Amino acid sequence: MPKKAIFIICLIAAIALAIFALFYTKKSQFAAMGGNGERQGPPPETISTFKVQSQEWTTYIRSIGSLKPIQGVDLESEIPGVITEINFENGQIVERGAALVKLDVKVEEAQLRALEASAKLARIDYERSSNLVKSGSITQAQFDKSDADLERAEAEVENLKAVIDRKTIRAPFTGKVGIRTVNLGQYVTNGTPIVSLQANDKVYVNFKLPEQSLAQIDMGMPLTLTTDVYKGMVVEGKITAISPAVDQSSRTVEVQGIIDNESGKLRSGLFVRVEIALPNPKQVLVIPSTAVMYAPYGDTVFVLKKPEKEGELPTVKQQFIRIDRRQGDFVSITKGLEIDDEVVSAGAFKLRNNLPVKINNELKPDPKLNPTPGNS
């Protein structure tokens, strides 16, 4: 056989041997890697945890309402006339009985002088008749007529004085006037609005509650108010009235409370949020709301399982729970967890059953019952 042919055969054999050796080596490496992977399982996920706590929670009834003054009225003209005096400034505090507006009474005052003169004459005639009837100079009927004339004359005087007095519009109570709607020299008729007068040192708050709340509230119970107008301001008061009837269409009951308003900031008609704290707080099991996986078929959490052997990582198990109430960053649990159970509070979205995990609680948020986040 020629040397050239022998060389080609040897070369082909060497190449084949090299390819076989390389294939065998890689196969062994892949097999070793697969075995290690099966032994190690999936890589661990980093999570934060929270131990189930027992807290004392107060139950609150919440509603929305509006404010009304303890005393408030829109002053109007009772009789027609021309305004001759306006004795207040817009927004001024006025005392009870202060004459705010006066109408022209010149004609009535002239008529009053005439009536007073007639009444004076009637009294003189009455006194003369009284002496004459005693001596028998006149009959009893004549005396009775002079008596009736006197009473009629005095009644006409009092009537006209009342008309004159009604042409002076006075403050029925101490309070703050609003913005007047009339001017000097203006002719007003019956019912013409003059100005609003409000006593705002105390205010009523009116709100409605569902009929189920009737068994939980009572007269004198404390309540608190907040409003979007004054951020951070909390005002305290108490329940003063509960409607005796339930609205049949909405199945609600109207409730009224009284609030101190010494600052005068609370105005009639203001929208407010009402909160009633019920007595006898209850002990509840709580976890952060971030730990809950909400789903249509039921709410769940991942509970931490301690490793069975030393050196192994803990794992997690998905657990169904039943949520009762929410307060701040917490939710209360009525079923599915026990005190000191450790649940995943951050990172639960990437977990599944029996997955090994690493715990890192250094950066987890601190849940609060009354969080006050800053404006974003």
Residue 376: per-residue pLDDT: 43
Residue 155 has pLDDT above 50, yes or no: yes
Say how far apart CA 305 and CA 356 lie, in whole Å. 9
Residue 87: per-residue pLDDT: 94
Say how far apart CA 278 and CA 274 lie, in whole Å. 13
Residue 354 has pLDDT above 60, yes or no: yes
Q: What is the side-by-side order of every strand in the sheet holding 45-51?
A: 53-57, 282-288, 330-335, 315-327, 299-305, 342-346, 45-51, 357-359
CATH topology of domain 105-166: Helix Hairpins (1.10.287)
**Is residue 354 classed as helix, strand or coil in its secondary structure?**
coil
Enter the DSSP assignment of 356: B
Assign domain 45-57+282-359 to its CATH architecture.
Answer: Beta Barrel (2.40)
**Per-residue pLDDT band at 24 (split at 50, 70, 90):** low
- Domain limits, the chain: 45-57+282-359, 62-68+200-277, 105-166
Calculate the CA dihedral of residues 321, 327, 328, 331 and round it to 10 degrees: -10
Reported pTM: 0.61
Lowest mean pLDDT among 61-70, 125-134, 203-212, 271-280: 125-134
Residue 38: per-residue pLDDT: 47
Residue 208 has pLDDT above 80, yes or no: yes
Q: Which two tokens stand for residue 376?
A: 């974003």
Q: Which two tokens stand for residue 54?
A: 């027992």
Backbone angles phi, psi at 236, to 5 degrees: -105, 150
**Per-residue pLDDT band at 206 (split at 50, 70, 90):** very high
Query: Which CATH number among 2.40.30.170, 3.40.50.2300, 2.160.20.10, 3.20.20.10 corresponds to the domain 62-68+200-277?
Result: 2.40.30.170
**Using one digit for the tens of pLDDT, what is the confidence trace for 229-283?**
998 889 999 999 999 999 999 999 999 999 998 888 888 889 999 999 888 888 9
Enter the DSSP assignment of 202: E
Residue 366: per-residue pLDDT: 83
Distances (CA, A) of 364 to 28, 48, 319, 367: 44, 6, 22, 9
Residue 141 has pLDDT above 90, yes or no: no
Long-range contacts of 300-306 (CB under 8 A, 24+ apart): 301/336, 301/337, 301/343, 301/344, 301/348, 302/343, 302/344, 302/348, 302/351, 303/337, 303/341, 303/342, 303/343, 303/344, 304/49, 304/342, 304/343, 304/344, 304/357, 304/359
Enter the DSSP assignment of 293: B
